[in-house]
Amino acid sequence: MARHIEKRSSKCQSLESPIKFLIEEASRCIQCNEPNCISGCPYGVSIPAMLSFASTGDLERAMSLLSDPRLLDLSRSCLTERPCEKSCTLAKKGKPIPIHQIELSLLMEDKKV
């Protein structure tokens, strides 16, 4: 019985961790006055707004900013280049916001990829 609960709880944790990860990472965004990430994004995503919604757990509103159909190719395109992350102000400190991964997690949550 205890083993069954343990198994189930570890399964639930693994399902929750991508959401926890994206909320934690989105919370690191410092909401720059001049967000370099936007100019680095080939799709013109309002990245700071998307991160702000994601950081509060409002995933629905965060996802609503990822409506450009070209983003559905995200899993293939930009995968190695990640221009938004290279442009992120925090990249200068060695730890940019993992924008690409956050967007992918949101799209997967929304079952779009």
By CB under 6 A, name the binding residues for ligand SF4: 29-32, 35-37, 47-48, 51, 88-90, 97, 99
* 23: helix, strand or coil: helix
Cα separation, 36 vs 84, in Å, equals 8
Query: Exposed, middle or buried: residue 11 (CB in 10 Å: 0-12, 13-18, 19+)?
Result: exposed
Report, in Å, the least distance between residue 52 CB and ligand SF4: 9
Report, in Å, the least distance between residue 105 CB and ligand SF4: 15
> Residue 21: in which H helix or E strand, if any?
helix 2-26
Report, in Å, the least distance between residue 57 CB and ligand SF4: 18
**CB-nearer residue toward ligand SF4: 90 or 107:** 90
**CB-nearer residue toward ligand SF4: 19 or 49:** 49
